[in-house]
Chains A and B, each alone.
Chain A
Amino acid sequence: MVAAALVITARLGYWQMARHDDLGELAVNLRERTMTEYAKRGDIITSDGVLLATDIFYYEVTAHPRLIQNPKEQAQVLAPILNLSEAELVEKLSDQRQQTVMLTLTAPVTAGKQLTALRNAGKIGAIEFVAKPQRRYPGGSLAAHLVGFTSASRSGAYGVEQYFDELLRGRDGQIRAEADALGDEALPFDLPQGSPALNGSSLVLTINSALQSIAEREVARGVQEFGARSGQILILDPQTGKILALASYPAPDLNAFATTKLDAYADPAVSLPYEPGSVFKAFTLAAGLDSGKISRGIVLNDPGSVVIGGRAIYNSDRKGYGNVDLVAAMAKSLNVIASKIALATGPKTFYQYLHDLGFGTLSNVDLAGEIPGTVKNPGDGIWYESDLGTNSFGQGIAVTPLQMANALAVIANGGKLMRPYIVERIIHPDGSVEARSPYMVRRVLKPETAAQVTDILSRSILTESTNKANLPGYTIAGKTGTAQIPVPGGYDPKWTIASFGGYLPADNPQYVILVKIDRPQKSPWGSQVASPIFAAVAQQIAQLTGLPPDDIRKAMSK
């Protein structure tokens, strides 16, 4: 008896003292579970409050067929809630070979409430349902390229989704709570322990949904009307560098990223370089005037060709125009005069201006995938003297549409290079707001030079009879471009990139607009393809924003 008592006492001592900790832990683990509490990724909103991206919750519903006694009855109850057929459910719930079967990944959030009620009423059993966030884009393809998307693994890809991924994603929580045998927190006896989820910060963009819609509609119409392959329209606030709209066509549906080719999401406005063609002459002109190598009243002779570095440069129509002033040179888009201005400016100064205008370097816009473009410089080893001539009219140089629009903004705003930006405010989960301010990178042009270039560009548009960029009632400044497309061994003999870059109103620029249409079939010319699109966009902007025509605006300001 004594021995038996001693054995029992020793055994009890062993269980109670020696194994106290691990057995206690085992007991806790039986009634408690560590569960992931998913963080809600931050919203992306336009400056006028239109929701572009948000997280919504779906329930993942799984079943344990071996524990289900009455699959038919359960299927009957579950079918309308999960939006599945009863037969399909019966088959899944009766599959005794499987320990766990997935019923659906996308039961709506309302299903969770119904499932909880049914479980509490004892009408369903051995069913697990876990709410998980999924990224959704209410506008579909609205601002698709600049928003980007969030993959199934919850990582941002492209656009602001990628650039601000760390801020947007937040942090998933790990909570420990009492749960039933299936891991569901069916009986919340106590407050859960652990680290709760921390939701991500939300982003308020600089873009305006109405301006974005106008840009998207017009670029789509332009591409379709002229049988082009693709196109972009950018609208910038030249005073601040705010991107007001950035549209590319074709644009992918952000909700269909799983079935869309990834390269469709790359933003051509920052990721796809192109040779800009004659729009670039505005910068050659600015460099010549600002450096003092040419004056506003200069008259230059155009014999029809000029030889630079042993290479003859001609006008696009191979004609010579004799003595021309700067307005005529811009209106007729004379390559020979642009080359002569670049020659007068000198390579060192000319390329310094190009660099200062932001070409060949990243603009540091807050969008993923930006590339710097290509500008050859004297002394590079790949630069030839003839490049000075061809670069002066936008050939042999690769830029992004955003660099072009931002450099035009330098002329429009009086000579300052602003850093373009897309995120205006960051709203943190604690409610604090981080406002982002315009940032001036450097002064590039003297205000007088910028005013002179604006004057020349606006006069040249008025005198260019074939240009369709004019907008009745408003003075605009801008330049057309018809660029050849480089291919291995030279230039594509058939296709062009038609573009127009301009701003309005010319005397107090508020909107810089760049229109770029890639490989138009009906006409190769920027003045015929891109200019009317510019005018349509400018007209709608003026009406939408209540920008009065010049005469009324001037009368109002008196």
Chain B
Amino acid sequence: MQALPLLSTLRFALVAIAAFILVAMVYLAQASNAALIARELRVKQLKIQEVERENAQLRYEIAALASPSAIEQRARKLGLGPAKRVVYAEMPWIQPPPNELMPAFLPDANFDIVPQTFQADESATLAQLLSVLGLKNLSAYVDAQTK
């Protein structure tokens, strides 16, 4: 008759131990998972830092290569120089946005501006432009095509 309470106490103890182990396992799993995530996060933070530093380095290198003096030097090596003659043409059918009105960077400027007004007729203006560019033959061809 005394075996029953003993068994009951033993069962209770086993259940309590099992419950404790379960809680401990859940806690450990969570803590370990949190530590893993924190580690992954930190690794990524360090990676971002590294990439940002590389990015800063590359930006600097690009800026050094694209600085006005570097571009001027490269342009001169390529045989580019100042424009010898500037022609202004009225082309009312073309309305470029103001920020596209800026021509190429000019490293030197020892030349005269020759203002020249063109008629607002499309074919005539094109022909005059080609003529100015030394393409008279092409100009005649354009005339023939447009008539």
Partner of B72, one of A213, A471, A555: A213
CA–CA, A544 to B103, complex, Å?
6
Check: A548 CB closer than 8 A to any chain B CB. Answer: yes
Chain B residues, CB < 8 A from A472: 112-113, 115
A56-B60, A138-B60 are known contacts. Are A552 and B39 too (CB-CB below 8 A)?
no
Q: A57-B56, A544-B106 are in contact. Are A189 and B35 (CB under 8 A)?
A: yes
Interface residue count for B (Cβ, 8 Å)? 40
| A192 touching B109 in the complex, CB below 8 Å, given contacts A139-B63, A473-B115 | no
Pairwise interchain contact A213-B102, C-beta atoms closer than 8 A: no
- Chain A residue numbers with a CB within 8 Å of B57 are 56-57, 108-110
Within 8 A of B (CB), among A302-333: none
On whether the beta carbons of B107 and A217 are closer than 8 Å, the reply is: yes
In the complex the two chains form, what is the Cα distance from A40 to B101 in whole Å? 36
Contacts of A540 in B (CB 8 A): 106, 109
Give the chain B neighbours of A190 by CB distance below 8 A: 35, 38-39, 42
Q: Which of A47-55, A163-171, A357-365, A392-400 contacts B (4 or more CB under 8 A)?
A: A47-55
- Interface size class of chain A, counting residues whose CB lies under 8 Å from the partner chain: 35 or more
Measured between beta carbons, the chain A residues less than 8 angstroms from B83 are 543
Interface residues of B in 67-118 (CB under 8 A from A): 67-69, 72, 83, 86, 88, 90, 98, 101-103, 105-110, 112-113, 115, 117
In chain A, positions 34-54 with a C-beta closer than 8 Å to chain B are: 40, 50-51, 54
Scan residues 24-72 of chain B and give those whose CB is less than 8 A from a CB of chain A. 35, 38-39, 41-43, 45-46, 50, 53-54, 56-57, 59-60, 63-64, 66-69, 72
Q: Please measure, in the bound complex, the distance between the C-alpha atom of A551 and the C-alpha atom of B118, giving whole angstroms.
A: 12
Q: Are B60 and A51 in contact, CB atoms less than 8 angstroms apart?
A: yes
A540 to B109, CA, bound (A): 6
B residues near A552, Cβ cutoff 8 Å: 88, 90, 115, 117
- List of B residues within 8 angstroms of A549 by Cβ: 88, 113, 115
Inter-chain CA distance A447–B42, complex, in Å, is 64
- Name the one of A142, A185, A188, A543 contacting B86, with C-beta atoms under 8 angstroms: A543
Cα–Cα distance between A213 and B59 once the two chains are bound (Å): 21
Are A131 and B88 neighbours in the complex by a CB distance under 8 Å? no
Question: Which residues of the partner chain A approach B45 to less than 8 Å between Cβ atoms?
Answer: 191
Q: Are A140 and B53 touching (Cβ within 8 A)?
A: no
Q: Closest approach, in angstroms, between the C-beta of B32 and any C-beta of chain A? A: 12
Task: Mark A234-246 against chain B: 1 for CB-CB distance below 8 A, else 0.
Answer: 0000000000000
Check A140–B102 contact: CB distance below 8 A.
no
Provide the bound-state CA to CA distance between A549 and B56, in Å.
43
Q: How far is the CB of B28 from chain A (nearest CB, A)?
A: 16
Measured in the bound complex, the distance between the Cα atoms of B101 and A441 in whole Å is 33
- CB-CB contacts below 8 Å: A411-445 with B: none
Q: Does A136 contact B (CB under 8 A)?
A: yes
Given contacts A131-B53, A544-B103, contact A556 B90 (CB under 8 A): yes
- Point out residues on A near B: beta carbons under 8 Å: 40, 50-51, 54-57, 108-110, 112-113, 131, 136, 138-140, 142, 177, 185, 188-192, 209-210, 212-214, 217, 471-473, 536, 539-540, 542-546, 548-549, 551-552, 555-556
Given contacts A138-B67, A544-B106, 6 further A-B contacts (CB under 8 A): A108-B57, A185-B46, A543-B83, A544-B102, A546-B103, A552-B90
